[in-house]
């Protein structure tokens, strides 16, 4: 699985650099069969990033570059804090919730420190750190392999840890939200774990600033018809506000302090 993930990331990078790729060239470069390369290109096409052509593929849109979690922490802080405040307002005593790793979801964790009788499971070391001394929060970690760039735990152990739980709400951060392709992220293992989180929660709440709308990263997490609520900021484009509402998704606009 790791080799597949790395190869697809490299193929995508070649697409970004050259605009198109050929199956025959990729077979020689990676030493795998044409069938394997075609499957890779079909996967990339399914994410809306490329179009298959005779003998290869052409880039449709350039995925955004992934940023280190510390770089993300420094971006749009007032907006993210306001989103976290609104998200915390949805959490009630007695709730069992999952908080995905991320810089926006971390602001939610900060605003939960005064809550009482809440159980939180997370795959984020940054989330766990924020809640480690919260007296009213029972904290569970998924376990798994640490991805240092995002401070997130992932992999088969992390996914298996969710199997015996049922949660009221998942608070999910994303790298991209597109009306056609849904919720996406840069990393395949994170997408797989996020998808499992979606399956284990009765309510899905996406926390994202408006800069993520219209972006498509390589790996899909979920379709938009699986989402119940999106909390974002006032910069949301009218097309996305109306599109989400047409899908029956509640949109909460978090106003950053002046």
CB 52 within 8 A of CB 85: no
Residue 231 or 50, more confident: 231
- Phi (first) and psi of residue 252, to 5 degrees: -105, 120
**Rounded CA separation 167/217 (Å):** 27
Q: How many residues does the chain have?
A: 258
Q: Cβ atoms within 10 A of the Cβ of 192, count?
A: 19
Query: Is 50 exceeded by the pLDDT of residue 16?
Result: yes
Note the helical H segments in 132-237.
Answer: 156-160, 188-200
pLDDT digits (tens, 9 = 90+) for 26-57: 999 999 999 999 999 998 887 777 889 989 99
pLDDT digits (tens, 9 = 90+) for 77-124: 789 999 999 999 999 999 999 999 998 999 999 999 999 999 999 999
How would residue 258 be classed by pLDDT, with cut points 50, 70 and 90? low
Query: Is 50 exceeded by the pLDDT of residue 132?
Result: yes
pLDDT digits (tens, 9 = 90+) for 58-69: 887 766 555 455
Average pLDDT, the chain: 89
The tokens describing 226, both together, are 């699986």
pLDDT digits (tens, 9 = 90+) for 177-194: 988 889 988 888 899 999
Residue 210 or 8, more confident: 210
Query: Rg of the chain over CA atoms, in angstroms?
Result: 19
């Amino acid at each position: 699985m790791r080799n597949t993930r790395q190869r697809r990331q490299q193929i995508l990078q070649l697409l970004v650099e050259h605009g198109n790729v050929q199956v025959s060239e990729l077979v020689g470069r990676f030493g795998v069969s044409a069938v394997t390369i075609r499957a890779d290109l079909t996967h990339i096409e399914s994410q809306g990033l490329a179009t298959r052509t005779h003998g290869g593929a052409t880039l449709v849109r350039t995925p955004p570059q992934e940023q280190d979690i510390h770089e993300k922490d420094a971006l749009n802080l007032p907006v993210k804090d306001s989103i976290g405040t609104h998200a915390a307002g949805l959490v009630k005593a007695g709730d069992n919730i999952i908080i995905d790793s991320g810089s926006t979801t971390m602001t939610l964790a900060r605003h939960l420190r005064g809550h009482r009788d809440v159980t939180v499971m997370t795959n984020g070391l940054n989330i766990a750190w924020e809640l480690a001394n919260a007296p009213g929060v029972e904290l569970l970690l998924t376990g798994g392999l640490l991805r240092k760039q995002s401070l997130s735990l992932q992999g088969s152990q992390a996914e298996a840890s969710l199997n015996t739980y049922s949660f009221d709400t998942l608070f999910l951060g994303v790298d991209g939200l597109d009306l056609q392709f849904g919720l996406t992220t840069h990393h395949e293992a994170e997408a797989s774990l996020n998808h499992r989180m979606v399956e284990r929660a009765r309510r899905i709440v996406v926390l994202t600033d408006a800069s993520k709308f219209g972006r498509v990263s390589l790996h899909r997490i979920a379709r938009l018809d699986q989402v119940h609520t999106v909390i974002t900021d006032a910069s949301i484009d009218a097309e996305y506000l109306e599109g989400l509402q047409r899908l029956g998704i509640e949109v909460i606009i978090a106003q950053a302090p002046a």
